């Protein structure tokens, strides 16, 4: 796709033309495409009443660097003919005081992106229900997710698409490890509890630093989350500082840890629900060479 004004989507007008940005853009697009293919986010052609219709994704925008990057890359893939889905951008205005409500609708209209802006005052509920000194994130995210599911159903979408990146997934893993007593994180693809919607995270392989560089280079109008950002000492912030320290001491450590999440071996953990330790015999042991190798991340 050439970088000329008459051959690209408006989302990319004014994009830097330097070599470093081109490499960054290509890397993010490649990683998103790999995640979409690896986790089967584009299913087989629909049958029955939905035959011949493209799937429709609800792309959730917070106004942060990650969601802007997500939207841009999905449109680039669609522009190239590599993403045969319809995209509907959605922002949920949660009623936070001082939220710049006109920024996203004006940006999306200017870019020619189909969108829906929904107002729901979940801010007041969070402030009322969460005791002073406790973090808002858990209740805030549950209320937000419930509204996004409702909107997806109303719009005929098959999937809710979120902007969580590689670092979010790693941080969630360590939060569950340190505070939840379980080995779990946010998967790139799941089905909601009701069983009627997919939840996708196409940025699963993308580093947060790359999202930040991309959004800054594109001069997107970033909207900070003042609700969460107003709280100090959040568990996620503590985990982020730990990971930052590890990365500083050993560059590339984040990617190694992320690759470990793709290379789980239940027989070398301790969960009898995942591996039949009681039924293990000497004759049933497989060689390590028989185990599948984890995919290569470039």
What is the percent of the chain where pLDDT is above 90?
A: 65
Q: What is the pLDDT of residue 294?
A: 52
Mean pLDDT of 148-163: 96
Residue the block writes with tokens 């005929």: 156
Picking from 206, 219, 202, the residue whose alpha carbon sits closest to that of residue 77 is 202
User: Pairing mode, if any, of strands 189-191 and 198-200?
Assistant: antiparallel
Q: What percent of the chain has pLDDT over 70?
A: 86
104 phi/psi in degrees, rounded to 5: -70, -50
User: What does the pLDDT read at residue 296?
Assistant: 54
Q: Is 267 helix (H, G, I), strand (E, B) or coil?
A: helix
Q: Give tens-digit pLDDT for 94-112.
A: 888 888 889 999 999 999 9
Q: What is the mean pLDDT of the chain?
A: 87
What pLDDT score does 218 carry?
94
Say whether domain 5-39+54-256 belongs to CATH 3.40.50.620.
yes
Mean pLDDT of the region 175-187: 94
The CA distance from 234 to 134, in Å, is 9
The pLDDT of residue 244 is: 95
Tell me what pLDDT residue 291 has. Answer: 52
pLDDT reported for residue 236: 83
């Amino acid at each position: 796709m050439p970088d000329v004004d008459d051959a690209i989507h408006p989302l990319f007008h004014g994009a830097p033309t330097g070599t470093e940005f081109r490499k960054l853009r290509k890397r993010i697009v490649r990683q998103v495409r790999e995640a979409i293919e690896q986790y089967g986010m584009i299913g087989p052609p629909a049958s029955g009443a939905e035959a011949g219709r493209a799937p429709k994704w609800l792309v959730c925008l917070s106004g942060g660097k990650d969601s802007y990057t997500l939207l841009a890359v999905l449109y680039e893939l669609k522009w190239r003919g590599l993403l045969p889905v319809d995209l509907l951008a959605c922002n949920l205005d949660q009623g936070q005081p001082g939220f710049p409500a006109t920024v996203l609708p004006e940006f999306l209209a200017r870019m020619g992106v189909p969108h829906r802006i929904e107002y729901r005052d979940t801010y007041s509920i969070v402030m009322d229900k969460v005791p002073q000194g406790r973090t808002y994130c858990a209740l805030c995210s549950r209320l937000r997710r419930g509204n996004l599911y409702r909107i997806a159903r109303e719009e005929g979408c098959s999937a809710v698409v979120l902007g969580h990146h590689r670092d979010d997934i790693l941080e969630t893993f360590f939060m569950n490890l340190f505070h939840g007593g379980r080995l779990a994180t946010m998967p790139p693809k799941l089905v909601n509890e009701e069983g009627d919607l997919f939840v996708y995270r196409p940025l699963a392989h993308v580093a947060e630093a790359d999202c930040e560089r991309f959004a800054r280079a594109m001069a997107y109008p970033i909207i900070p989350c003042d609700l969460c950002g107003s709280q100090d000492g959040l568990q996620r912030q503590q985990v982020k500082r730990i990971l930052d320290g590890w990365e500083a001491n050993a560059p590339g450590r984040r990617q190694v840890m992320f690759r470990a999440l793709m290379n789980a071996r239940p027989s070398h953990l301790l969960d009898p629900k995942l591996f039949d330790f009681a039924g293990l015999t000497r004759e049933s042991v497989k060689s390590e060479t028989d185990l599948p190798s984890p995919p290569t991340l470039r």
